[in-house]
């Protein structure tokens, strides 16, 4: 207590300045020397003020571990100031100090959502046992494994800083709120695919140093990650990049935009996947709320889902743009739009079929939620609320509706994990059922909407694939022999599955079709080569299957899956891997050129215009063992080629005839005009009618009436 009095006396500001000067500063020097020499006494029950938050604990609790900062602070060797109420003051945020005390009292660990924050506080107070315990629980345990993986990644942190610097520079140059850059992520040293020399496959990982240098090149991207030696794949590294950027408060979106198609040597091409990263530097108000909702934990500090949706809807209503109003009913266009909607409305049979499927899915969803008891009721309420909210957001763009769906998925998944402590397996099953229930009802509104150019892209891709009908498996180095009956069946099944994708309404079901198609491809390659298939064999075969099947509305299905599929399914697992390969295959088809097929530009142009077709194997050169069906097939192909040439000739002649008719019509018209100009038509006035002989006699009125014949009876 004496120490407190001395402290208060020393801090008293009533001492005159001239008196202090007369003492020559000896008073302050005496105080500075006196405080460290006197040990500070603490009561058994210690009142604390940590950043304005009050706590009370025993002195033995604070001294439980000797080598901690708290034990040193309350050892008496250091002076601790007090507030006006006599509480010992620690200048530190006290939000998580209660978790520190709980561990010192009974060894209790904080909830999962507070682990990271408590870990930082434990580092500040140097509480080693708490640090060790927190590092053995999620999410720090997973973070430990993640950092071990990133430790194998060369220049990972430097590349991350480069992404931020490039995005910042481009945004400042363009005066835009976002910037885009290309990032290449590859795991293997030489991710290349031979397209003309299949026997070089065996040399891929057995090249000499001089041969390896021939294949070295740098993809035309901003940043490249890889290669690395670990089990983690490309999707794991992408997740790490997005996570680390998000931890810095940067909003980032990424998508695969294709592969590097640079030609290396000996018909080898680089096939490293290229991703487009979109870095957003500042967000609109509604986007900030969505981002904050996705980053915040469950509790009093975060908005509930219903309040977030209500607030976001109000903001969207006030900030609706002219583009979004385009499809709003008005007095000028209301009748026309009604006619268009009536013309495009599906038939009653289709409506009944969709209604039956919706009812069936709803019943299955309700039966599934019964196994979750109380959480199931909350999930059903959240789904109904989300559907009602989406019904009022029809005027939003498809990208904004996609963001709402992704936010909803993330919100429900976090509730299942944190509030209801559901295991990962049950969370995955629940998210699949939620996606099925929601997207079955939203399918007709969000699949290939009129506000996007998805339909235009579909027609362009279909036209492109039709123009490439002449591409043979040999040109793509497809290791599949369709003459084997089992392989031929696998190819047919793969084509059937990729076409069937368009008939599904749920993104997960569409992904399942892609997965089944891919597995049939792997089986076909395995049967042909009599060994397991590799990724280098899979992608060319998938390209060939897409060219041969020409799936309907391919781009619309890809965009639909990307926008509304559960993100955890796209980021990990075989579904995400096969879907990425399908996107790469479509991108390759769109950019396919003569060099990709090892053809001359002249031959490629002739094949594309239909002036010629690749040489088929003549039927006479077949061996006697070849079945009659194959021979008949090549005969039919030759016949079709001849018919195609005849049709082209007919079309050309018809065009020529049409031109001749137009020229003849123009010539006749010109001749008629010349004749009319040379001999103009003169129209004379109409002749007057002849007058009666006595018409000019003015005394006609005085003449007696004409005699009428009289009949007399005799």
At 98 the pLDDT is 93
At 38 the pLDDT is 52
Decide: helix, strand or coil at residue 251: strand
Return the higher-pLDDT residue of 202 and 572: 572
List the one residue out of 560, 360, 386, 551 whose CA is nearest residue 462: 551
Which pairing describes strands 45-50 and 88-90: parallel, antiparallel, or unpaired? parallel
- The answer, yes or no, to whether the previous bond of 139 is cis (omega within 30 of 0) is yes
Can you tell me the distance from the alpha carbon of 404 to that of 310, in angstroms, rounded to the nearest whole number? 12
Exposure letters 591-612 (e unless 16+ CB within 10 A, then b): ebeeebbebeeeebeebeeeee
Long-range Cβ contacts of 156-162 (<8 Å, 24+ apart)? 156/225, 159/223, 159/224, 159/225, 160/241, 160/244, 160/245, 162/222, 162/223
* 219: number of Cβ within 10 Å: 19
Under the banding of pLDDT at 50, 70 and 90, the label for residue 713 is low
What are the tokens at 7? 């402290």
Residues 6+ apart with CB under 8 A from 127: 65, 68, 69, 70, 100, 103, 104
Residue 291 has pLDDT above 90, yes or no: no
Mean pLDDT in residue range 367-384: 86
List the one residue out of 609, 557, 604 whose CA is nearest residue 582: 557
Residue 417 has pLDDT above 50, yes or no: yes
CATH architecture of 453-609: Up-down Bundle (1.20)
Residue where the block lists tokens 């940590």: 50
Percent of the chain at pLDDT > 90 equals 30
DSSP string over 78-116? S---B-TTSPEEE-S--TTHHHHHHHHHH-PPPPGGGHH
Mean pLDDT in residue range 359-375: 86
Residue 380 has pLDDT above 80, yes or no: yes
Cα-Cα-Cα-Cα dihedral sign, residues 586, 589, 595, 597:
positive
At 699 the pLDDT is 60
- The answer, yes or no, to whether the previous bond of 529 is cis (omega within 30 of 0) is no
Under the banding of pLDDT at 50, 70 and 90, the label for residue 374 is confident
Can you tell me the distance from the alpha carbon of 530 to that of 200, in angstroms, rounded to the nearest whole number? 18
Which pairing describes strands 53-58 and 45-50: parallel, antiparallel, or unpaired? antiparallel
Contact 47/88 with Cβ under 8 angstroms? yes
Can you tell me the distance from the alpha carbon of 589 to that of 545, in angstroms, rounded to the nearest whole number? 12
Contact 561/568 with Cβ under 8 angstroms? no
Q: Domain 45-137 in CATH: superfamily?
A: Potassium Channel Kv1.1; Chain A (3.30.710.10)
Q: Which CATH class is domain 357-446?
A: mainly alpha
Can you tell me the distance from the alpha carbon of 380 to that of 558, in angstroms, rounded to the nearest whole number? 28
Structure confidence by residue, pLDDT tens digits, 664-681: 999 999 999 988 888 887
Mean pLDDT in residue range 28-55: 71
At 598 the pLDDT is 87
What are the tokens at 5? 């009095």
Domain boundaries, the chain: 45-137, 148-193+218-282, 357-446, 453-609, 633-663
Residues 6+ apart with CB under 8 A from 62: 46, 70, 71, 73, 74, 104
| Phi and psi based region of residue 553 (left: phi greater than 0; alpha: psi -120 to 50; beta: remaining) | left
At 4 the pLDDT is 39
Contact 549/469 with Cβ under 8 angstroms? no
DSSP string over 276-311? EEEEESS--HHHHHHHHHHHSPSSTTS--HHHHHHH
At 692 the pLDDT is 56
Return the higher-pLDDT residue of 437 and 353: 437
H/E stretch holding 257 reads strand 251-259
- How would you class 463 by CB atoms within 10 Å of its CB: exposed for 0-12, middle for 13-18, buried for 19 or more? exposed
Return the higher-pLDDT residue of 684 and 360: 360
At 202 the pLDDT is 35
At 298 the pLDDT is 37
Residue 64 has pLDDT above 50, yes or no: yes
Residue 534 has pLDDT above 90, yes or no: no
Structure confidence by residue, pLDDT tens digits, 556-611: 999 999 999 988 888 778 899 999 999 999 999 999 998 888 888 988 888 888 77
- Quote the mean pLDDT of the chain: 77
Can you tell me the distance from the alpha carbon of 445 to that of 150, in angstroms, rounded to the nearest whole number? 42
Under the banding of pLDDT at 50, 70 and 90, the label for residue 339 is very low
At 639 the pLDDT is 84
Residue 624 has pLDDT above 80, yes or no: no
Can you tell me the distance from the alpha carbon of 430 to that of 428, in angstroms, rounded to the nearest whole number? 5
Under the banding of pLDDT at 50, 70 and 90, the label for residue 112 is confident
What are the tokens at 164? 């931020």
Can you tell me the distance from the alpha carbon of 683 to that of 190, in angstroms, rounded to the nearest whole number? 91
Residue 74 has pLDDT above 80, yes or no: yes
At 310 the pLDDT is 47
Contact 39/77 with Cβ under 8 angstroms? yes
Can you tell me the distance from the alpha carbon of 275 to that of 254, in angstroms, rounded to the nearest whole number? 6
At 205 the pLDDT is 39
Mean pLDDT in residue range 52-66: 91
Contact 558/502 with Cβ under 8 angstroms? no
Cα 441 to the chain's mean position, in Å? 21
Mean pLDDT in residue range 516-527: 94
At 297 the pLDDT is 40
Can you tell me the distance from the alpha carbon of 430 to that of 54, in angstroms, rounded to the nearest whole number? 42
Mean pLDDT in residue range 286-304: 45
Can you tell me the distance from the alpha carbon of 20 to that of 29, in angstroms, rounded to the nearest whole number? 11
CA distances to 204, 426, 648 from 430, in Å: 43, 6, 57
Contact 564/521 with Cβ under 8 angstroms? no
Cα-Cα-Cα-Cα dihedral sign, residues 58, 90, 48, 96:
negative
Contact 514/498 with Cβ under 8 angstroms? yes
Can you tell me the distance from the alpha carbon of 450 to that of 323, in angstroms, rounded to the nearest whole number? 13
Residue 115 has pLDDT above 80, yes or no: yes
List the one residue out of 529, 544, 526, 426 whose CA is nearest residue 478: 544
Mean pLDDT in residue range 325-343: 40
At 15 the pLDDT is 41
Residue 203 has pLDDT above 50, yes or no: no
List the one residue out of 270, 246, 298 whose CA is nearest residue 114: 298
List the one residue out of 507, 501, 399 whose CA is nearest residue 454: 399
Structure confidence by residue, pLDDT tens digits, 627-676: 777 778 888 888 888 888 889 889 999 999 999 999 999 999 999 998 88
At 490 the pLDDT is 93
What are the tokens at 576? 């995400």
| Angle 577-580-583 from CA coordinates, rounded to 5° | 155
Specify the pTM.
0.44
% helix / strand / coil in the chain, to the nearest 5?
Answer: 60, 5, 30
> Euclidean distance between the first and final Cα of the chain, in Å?
175
Structure confidence by residue, pLDDT tens digits, 423-440: 888 888 899 999 999 999
Residue 345 has pLDDT above 80, yes or no: no
Decide: helix, strand or coil at residue 476: helix
Residue 701 has pLDDT above 80, yes or no: no
Can you tell me the distance from the alpha carbon of 390 to that of 441, in angstroms, rounded to the nearest whole number? 11
């Amino acid at each position: 207590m004496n120490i407190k009095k001395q402290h208060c006396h020393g801090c008293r500001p009533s001492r005159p300045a001239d008196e202090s000067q007369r003492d020559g500063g000896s008073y302050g020097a005496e105080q500075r020397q006196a405080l460290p020499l006197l040990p500070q006494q603490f009561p058994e029950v210690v009142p604390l003020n940590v950043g304005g938050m009050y706590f009370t604990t025993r002195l033995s609790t604070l001294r439980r571990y000797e080598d901690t900062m708290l034990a040193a602070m309350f050892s008496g060797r250091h002076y601790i100031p007090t507030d006006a109420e006599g509480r010992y003051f620690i200048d530190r945020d006290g939000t998580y100090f209660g978790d520190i005390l709980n561990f010192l009292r009974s060894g209790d660990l904080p909830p999962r959502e507070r682990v990271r924050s408590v870990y930082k506080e434990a580092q500040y107070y140097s509480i080693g046992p708490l640090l060790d315990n927190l590092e053995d629980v999620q999410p720090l345990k997973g973070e430990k494994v993640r950092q071990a993986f990133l430790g194998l990644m060369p220049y990972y942190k430097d590349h991350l800083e480069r992404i931020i610097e490039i995005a910042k520079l481009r945004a400042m140059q363009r005066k835009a709120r976002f910037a885009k850059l290309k990032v290449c992520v590859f795991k293997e040293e030489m991710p290349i695919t031979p397209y003309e020399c299949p026997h070089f496959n065996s040399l891929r990982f057995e090249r000499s140093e001089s041969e390896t240098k021939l294949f070295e090149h740098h993809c035309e991207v901003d940043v490249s990650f890889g290669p690395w030696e670990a089990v983690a794949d490309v999707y794991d590294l992408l997740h790490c990049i997005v996570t680390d950027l998000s931890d810095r408060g940067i909003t980032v979106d990424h998508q695969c935009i294709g592969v590097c198609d640079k030609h290396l040597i000996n018909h080898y091409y680089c096939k490293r996947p290229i991703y487009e990263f979109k870095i957003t530097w500042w967000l609109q108000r509604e986007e900030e709320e969505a981002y904050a909702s996705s980053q915040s934990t469950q509790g009093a500090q975060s908005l509930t889902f219903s309040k977030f949706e209500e607030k976001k809807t109000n903001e969207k209503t006030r900030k609706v743009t002219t583009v979004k109003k385009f499809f709003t009913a008005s007095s000028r266009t209301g009748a026309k739009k009604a006619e268009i909607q009536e013309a495009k409305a599906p038939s009653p049979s289709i409506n009944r079929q969709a209604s039956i499927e919706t009812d069936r899915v709803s019943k299955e969803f309700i039966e599934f939620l019964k196994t979750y008891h109380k959480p199931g009721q909350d999930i059903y309420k959240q789904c109904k609320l989300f559907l009602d909210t989406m019904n009022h957001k029809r005027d939003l763009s498809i990208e904004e509706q996609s963001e709402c769906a992704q936010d909803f998925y993330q919100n429900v998944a976090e509730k299942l994990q944190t509030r209801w402590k559901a295991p990962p397996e049950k969370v995955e099953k629940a998210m699949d059922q939620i996606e099925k229930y929601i997207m079955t009802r939203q399918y007709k509104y969000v699949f290939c909407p009129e506000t996007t150019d998805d339909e235009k892209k579909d027609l362009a891709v279909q036209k492109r694939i039709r123009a490439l009908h002449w591409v043979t498996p040999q040109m793509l180095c497809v290791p599949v022999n369709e003459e084997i009956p089992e392989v031929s069946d696998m190819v047919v099944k793969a084509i059937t599955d990729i076409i069937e994708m368009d008939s599904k309404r749920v993104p997960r079901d569409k992904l399942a079709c892609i997965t089944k198609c891919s597995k049939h491809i792997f089986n076909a390659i395995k049967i042909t080569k009599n060994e397991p298939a590799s990724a280098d064999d899979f992608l060319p075969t998938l390209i060939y299957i897409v060219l041969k099947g020409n799936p309907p509305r391919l781009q619309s299905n890809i965009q639909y899956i990307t926008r509304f599929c559960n993100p955890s399914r796209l980021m990990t697992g075989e579904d995400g891997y096969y879907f990425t390969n399908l996107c790469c295959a479509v991108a390759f088809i769109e950019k396919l050129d003569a060099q990709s097929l090892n053809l001359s530009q002249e031959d490629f142009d002739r094949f594309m215009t239909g002036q010629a077709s690749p040489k088929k194997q003549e039927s006479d050169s077949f061996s006697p063992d070849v079945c009659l069906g194959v021979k008949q097939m090549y005969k039919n192909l030759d016949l079709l080629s001849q018919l195609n040439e005849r049709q082209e000739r007919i079309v050309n002649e018809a065009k020529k005839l049409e031109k001749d008719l137009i020229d003849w019509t123009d010539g006749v018209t010109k001749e008629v005009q010349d004749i009319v100009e040379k001999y103009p038509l003169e129209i004379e006035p109409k002749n007057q009618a002849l007058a009666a002989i006595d018409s000019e006699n003015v005394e006609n009125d005085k003449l007696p009436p004409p005699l009428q014949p009289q009949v007399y009876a005799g």
